[in-house]
Chain A
Amino acid sequence: MNRDCTYHRPSTLAEAVDYLATKGGETTIIAGGTDVMVDLRAGKLERRNLLDVSRLDELRGIRLEGEKLVVGAAVTLAEIHRSPLLANHAPALQKCARNFASAQIRNKATIGGNVGHCSPCGDTIPPLVIHQAEMVCTGSSGQRRLPITEVATGAYRCQIARDEIITAFVLEPVGADFADFQKIGRRQALAISRMSMAAMLNQDQEGRITMLRLALGACTPTPCRLRLVEEFLLGKKPQPALLMQAGELLAEQMIAITGRRSSIIYKEPAVQGLFRRILSPVACHD
């Protein structure tokens, strides 16, 4: 099993882009390395020329730019967790960092790596989806933007070209009364999501839903916004019986995408349970 590798750390984005322009075909970008190093050790990393982007200034920082919230690709989960800006403007994203892996991993793992890895279980994905985030990347032919739901073409398969670097994510700041992220794992820490969910919601004075965004993690091969469920609930009061119905619709939608695998015996009720749990604070009981 070959685990040899070479390592480069450019000091500017331009330098990194130049490097990829010639060597992109044989290079793997590494940020925190919490996915890359696992593959390297397992002998599964084919391109063992590593380009470290974790310290590029252009990829760092969390800031508001006009109407938009910008999160650098090399921002770590620990930084996300302690960011007051995110707690205010993207609470679901901030929350997803709380139960992400362990403190050690959070100190290294980046949001760019989480998205770039394209694991169906990536915990930052559902929050990015409900913020209608766009991924920004830079390559030899310039910059482009891609909606977060289009980044992965399949599980662990990324749209990004070999000569491109993810630089940032551009989010719509939260404009809602309620936003949350929850996950189910096999233990309290260091658990890959068995299932996760992000929700954002507004209600009018009567409690009717005026806006709802819902995204599911670890259930479908690529990120999934549940528009049918959103539309079903729009304009209605989220009474328990209605939420139960919406949950059933949600499970149907999920199964329509994934088919009936053996894990569905759990996932079918659990996705409804998680949905009812995440929306329980906004449920109307009259």
Chain B
Amino acid sequence: MTEERYAVIGQSVLRKGAREKVLGAAVFAADIDLGRPLVLLARRSDHSHALIRQIDVAAALAIDGVKGVFTARDIPGVNLLGIINKDQPLLADDKVRSRADAVALVVAESQAVAEQAAEAISIDYQPLPALFEPLEALAEGAPPIHKKGNLLLTRVVRRGDVDSAFAAAASLIEKEYETGFIEHNYLEPDAGIGHVDADGTLVIYASTQNPHYDHKEVVGLLDLPDEKVRIIQAATGGGFGSKLDLNVQGFIGLALHHLGHLGRPVRYIYSREEAYLATSKRHPFRIRMTTACDRSGRLTAMRVRAVCNTGAYGSYGIAVASRAAVHATGPYAIDNVDVEVQCVYTNATYCGAMRGFGAPQMALAHESQIDLHAEELHIDPLAMRTMNALQVGATSSTGQILTASIGYRQCLEAVAPYYRQACDHWLPAPTLPHRRRGVGLGGMWYGIGNTGVQNPSTARIEMAPDGSVTLFTGCADIGQGSTTVLSQIAAEILGLSPEAIRMVVADTKYTTSAGATSASRQTYISGNAVANATRNLANVLLTEAVNRLRAPKNSLLFSGGEIVVASKPEVRVAMATLARRIHDKGGTLSWQGFFDPETVPLDPQTGEGVPYATYAFACHLAEVEVDTLTGEVHVARVVAAHDVGRAINPASVVGQICGGVAMGVGFALMEEFEQGRTESMKDYHIPTAADMPEVVPIIIEAAEPSGPFGAKGVGEPALIPTAPAIVNAISAALNRRIYALPASLERVLAASIDAGHYRRKER
């Protein structure tokens, strides 16, 4: 790695918007005041699966204060949504496929009237058998939930000869793993507000992760020209993937389309209950994994048959199945691979993107398998991981040759001293008689960006004749800090402070698409687009400076708002002067940037391809104490080493790591969304501050040559290794393995009883 010195890259500059959030001044969609708003409310389905014979809205329309009630028939454009495959109507057409489906939309003067009107809509259903289990849905003769049937996709990754490797194995282990529905549980429930502006444009402010996708969908639903819809991202209180789907945006658009003439803004704020009922969940997985290794512990082959439940609609299901298949091996070199992941429709609430897209579910399986082999072969779990770790030059299961920035071994090395300390000192230290301690490791790799498809980002930077700089990006900052990181990248190139860069963010009128804030892609992909735009601008400034300073380009530096001759710092010119001259000569000071990572689509038969241009790596160590009498688990500490390529803003990286660990503790121990039962946070448990272990974040920087200043991403990786590390620690503590998440009181106590700890000593 070259030893370069940067002024703002690698600095924990203050997060843009942090001050406003701390002071309560940030303006979320629900806070936006556009005058007296009309209130929207969807009438959700009464059945999980039924044909709709008739919808009668007369009684609802007759209620005083009701301004309109709309059904599928009132949608002028295409009533189908979906970022990958379009299968989800905004308002149910001829059938409902889950309880989350909206059948009609009420527009009213108040929430109370809207609620009354929604109740008053009468819907004549013809119920159909509802299927909640993927295996039921795949069974011969199962009622089709969609016309094309219940199998959305099978993603295959095949390489080498698994059967021969199995036959020669010293250790062969086959197990089944299971994970459930998970609710994203972002702090801010979905919300949006819109109005029709003076030009007749529908302007919609929304809590969203992808304003440009929202724009496309609203335009399509309403059959409007592009410029007649404008989406502006409001301050967004988290998303974790759920705000990638259209939640309120389409409803607001539809209401404005029909009732814009009233001159009133319309708004839709989900209650927590509606956010639980109506928005996507994490895909539950059932994974059968068989792995083989030789006597030394080297992994030789893997077979996976996995089924994931996408519920009523595709949403991001195809991406989840694909990513799960590609990530099945974990960060390990395995020559013979045979992976099949099926993504199946059921009548459950639809499942979509959630932090990790199937990788967290797969990580539970591959990390458990590693520990099982290690135990069988009497190899230390850390040594087993190190021996099998991907390295530069390795070939992945899709046949991709990994050429750079493979920091998994460094992550393992960073965790090693903590691991040894935990094993040698913490583990044997005395604790209460009914408690047992365990130490566990979890590893992961994570491809940055979308899987084997184009997913470009764009950006534009403008310098005014007075030298002031504005950066335009479509990238939605949902609290993770992308706006700050992008400003740091531009500032570094121009030798400015990040505060000097004015940011115009996520407004479809002024910014071009940066793609989704998902797949941990914004620092890498939008960061590169910003760098590209900024370097274009920097280049014209340098050209002008060459004239002015009579020095070659490669001798010039950007520093403190000036361009300076590196060897003679007294020879300098203000950027404002250069900008003025370029402007006066008719030169351009507005530059567009573009970046699309180099990928090759996966072959549908073999999975061969280059799904991602780069990968992040991580290893977590968990120290847990298990109460053998009650099944309670206390996570004492998590050491989390992450290869992020380059930490552009280390404080933000640490923030992501700590937040990821919190979510991982929830995934491991307590989170479980039960269809038809879980209503809100009263019956869905996420960890509190009291449940948080001590977190030791460690940043590893195996620079990515194609990344902006070497950066990759960390948003999703932060969560992925935590649950496997905790499960491995519990399993070590009890000498009994947990195969299904969450490792709840019930499952842990059952394992403790099974292992004989519950009746230990006393008999």
Contacts and interface: CB of A to CB of B under 8 A. Distances in A.
A269 B115 contact: no
- By secondary structure, the A interface counts as helix
B685 interface: yes
A137 B746 CA distance: 40
A266 B434 contact: no
B761 A270 contact: no
Interface in B725-763: 744-746, 749-750, 753, 758-759, 761-763
Interface stretch (A80-88, A138-146, A183-191): A183-191
B631 interface: yes
A188 B433 contact: no
Nearest to B687: A187
B749 A274 contact: no
A265 interface: yes
A160 interface: no
Contacts of A3: 112
A188 B670 CA distance: 11
Interface in B432-485: 433-434
B434 A280 contact: yes
Interface in B241-293: none
Choose among B112, B744, B762 the residue with the greatest number of A CB atoms under 10 Å from its CB: B762
Interface in A214-258: 240-241, 243-244
Given A187-B685, A188-B690, A266-B749, A240 B115 contact: no
Contacts of A208: none
B356 to A, nearest CB: 22
B691 interface: yes
Interface string A256-282: 000000000110011011101100100
Given A1-B115, A240-B761, A270-B749, A190 B630 contact: no
B743 to A, nearest CB: 12
A187 B629 contact: no
Contact of B688 (A187, A269, A272): A187
A190 B434 CA distance: 24
Contacts of A265: 746, 750
Nearest to A240: B762
Contact of A102 (B688, B691, B749, B759): B688
A38 interface: yes
Interface of A: 1-3, 38, 102, 184, 186-191, 194, 240-241, 243-244, 265-266, 269-270, 272-274, 276-277, 280
B758 to A, nearest CB: 7
- By secondary structure, the B interface counts as loop
B762 A188 contact: no
Given A194-B745, A240-B762, A244-B762, A270 B631 contact: yes
Interface in B606-636: 627-632, 634
A187 B682 contact: no
Contacts of B682: 38
> Considering the complex of A and B, which 7 residue pairs feature the smallest CB-CB distances, nearest first?
A273-B629, A188-B690, A189-B690, A240-B762, A266-B746, A189-B688, A186-B685
A269 B758 CA distance: 9
B198 interface: no
Choose among B630, B632, B682, B690 the residue with the greatest number of A CB atoms under 10 Å from its CB: B630
B759 A274 contact: no
A186 B688 contact: no
B689 interface: yes
A189 B691 contact: yes
Contacts of B744: 186
Given A274-B630, A277-B629, A266 B763 contact: no
B649 to A, nearest CB: 31
Choose among B632, B634, B688, B744 the residue with the greatest number of A CB atoms under 10 Å from its CB: B632
A277 B434 contact: yes
Nearest to A184: B630
A123 to B, nearest CB: 16
A191 B634 CA distance: 15
Given A102-B688, A273-B434, 17 more contacts: A184-B745, A186-B745, A187-B687, A187-B690, A187-B691, A189-B691, A240-B762, A241-B762, A243-B762, A244-B759, A266-B631, A266-B745, A269-B753, A270-B629, A270-B631, A274-B630, A277-B629
Interface in B92-132: 112, 115
A74 to B, nearest CB: 25
Contacts of B687: 187
A102 B744 CA distance: 21
B690 A273 contact: no
Contacts of B628: 273
18 contacts: A1-B112, A3-B112, A38-B682, A186-B685, A188-B634, A188-B688, A189-B688, A189-B691, A190-B688, A243-B762, A265-B746, A269-B749, A270-B630, A270-B631, A276-B629, A276-B762, A277-B627, A280-B434
A1 B670 CA distance: 31
A274 B631 CA distance: 10
Nearest to B629: A273
A189 B759 CA distance: 29
Nearest to A244: B762
A194 B669 CA distance: 15
A159 to B, nearest CB: 26
Contacts of A2: 112
Nearest to B685: A186
A270 B753 CA distance: 10
Nearest to B762: A240
A122 to B, nearest CB: 16
B689 to A, nearest CB: 7
Contacts of B629: 270, 272-274, 276-277
A178 B689 CA distance: 31
Contacts of B750: 265
Contact of B749 (A243, A273, A277): A273
Nearest to A239: B762
Contact of B670 (A186, A189, A273): A186
Given A38-B682, A270-B631, A276 B749 contact: no
Interface in B413-438: 433-434
A273 to B, nearest CB: 3
B58 to A, nearest CB: 22
A240 B758 CA distance: 12
Contacts of B759: 244
Contacts of B749: 266, 269-270, 273
A2 B110 CA distance: 12
A186 B683 CA distance: 10
Contacts of A189: 688-691
Nearest to A271: B630
B685 A241 contact: no
B688 A244 contact: no
Contacts of A184: 630, 632, 745
Given A186-B745, A187-B685, A241 B631 contact: no
B690 A244 contact: no
Contacts of A187: 669-670, 685, 687-688, 690-691
Interface in B681-701: 682, 685, 687-691
A3 B669 CA distance: 36
A232 B200 CA distance: 82
B670 A270 contact: no
Choose among A244, A265, A274, A277 the residue with the greatest number of B CB atoms under 10 Å from its CB: A277
A1 B744 CA distance: 35
Contacts of B745: 184, 186, 194, 266, 270
A280 B630 contact: no
Contacts of B688: 102, 187-190
A280 B433 contact: yes
A250 B27 CA distance: 55
B116 to A, nearest CB: 9
